[in-house]
Amino acid sequence: MEAIEKIKEIAAQAVPAAKIEIINSTPAAQQPALLVDREHIYAVGKFFKEDPRFQMDFCSCVTAVDYLPKADKSGCIEVVYHLYSVAQKQGPIVLKVRAPRELDQCRVPSLTPLWRACEFQEREAYDLYGVKFDGHPDLRRILMWDEFVDHPMRKDYVPPPDYEWEPTPHDDTLQRAVEEGGIMPPTAREELEKAKKK
C-alpha cells in the first residue's frame, strides 16, 4: 500500500472539497490516520471503498475517543474507522472525524450505508459517547437500557448514587452507594450488615 502522504494526496484529488489532515495516533499505535472534516467523511469513505487502487471493502473497527477541552484547544469526540481491503489484502487506512462534545451538536454522517459492519459499532459509540450518526438505519442504545440517561464513556460522566440497577453491588460500588445514600437491593443491605458484624 502507498505511504500515508500519497494516500492523502490521492483522496484529496478525488474529493477536492474535503479537508484532510495526517495526524499521528498515540505513540503505542504509531499508526498515522487521516482526519477528515464531517461534511466529507462519507465521500472520502466511499472513495476508499470504490476506488480500484484501494478497494477498502471491510471496516473492522469503529470506536470513539473523548477529548476534554484544554487551555489551548476545545474538546471534541473523535470517531475512528479502521478500513481494510480483503480483496487486495491491504490496510488499514485509519479515518478519523471529529464532532463537538455538546450533545446537541455531537453528530457525524453514518458510514453504515458503505460498510454494514459499522452498524452495531456506531450504535455502541452513540450509546457510550453520545455521537449521533446521521443516516444510520437503526440508531438506538445497544449496551445500556433505553431509560438510561447520559453516556458512560464520556470523561465527565458521573455515576448516579442510586445503585438499585446493579443486582450484586460489592466492594467500592457498595461503599459508594452507602456514602451517597443510593438505593440498594435488600440482599446488598444484608451483605453490608454481615460485613459490619465481622
User: Residue 160 has which C-alpha cell?
Assistant: 448516579
Contact 117, 49 (CB under 8 A): no
Q: Which of 155, 104, 149, 111 is nearest to 131 (CA)?
A: 104
CATH of 4-154 among 3.30.460.80, 3.30.360.10, 3.90.180.10, 3.30.420.40? 3.30.460.80
Every domain of the chain and the residues it spans: 4-154, 159-198
pTM above 0.85, yes or no: no
CA 19 from chain center: how many Å? 21
CB atoms within 10 A of CB 185: 15
Mode of pairing for the β-strands spanning 132-134 and 107-109 = parallel
Per-residue pLDDT tens over the stretch 131-178: 999 999 999 999 998 888 899 999 999 877 665 555 565 677 777 777
Backbone angles phi, psi at 83, to 5 degrees: -110, 140
Residue 21's DSSP bridge partners are 35
Ranges of the chain with pLDDT below 70: 26-29, 161-170, 182-186, 188
- What pLDDT sits at residue 16? 97
Distance CA 111, CA 136 (A): 8
Q: In angstroms, rounded to a whole number, what is the distance separating the alpha carbons of residues 102 and 99?
A: 9
All three cell numbers of 19: 479537508
| pLDDT at residue 31, as a whole number | 81
Q: What is the pLDDT of residue 166?
A: 58
pLDDT the model gives residue 26: 64
Kindly give, in sequence order, each residue whose CB lies less than 8 Å from that of residue 123, ignoring residues fewer than 6 positions away.
136, 138, 139, 140, 141, 142
- Note the pLDDT of residue 49: 98
> What's the full length of the chain, in residues?
198
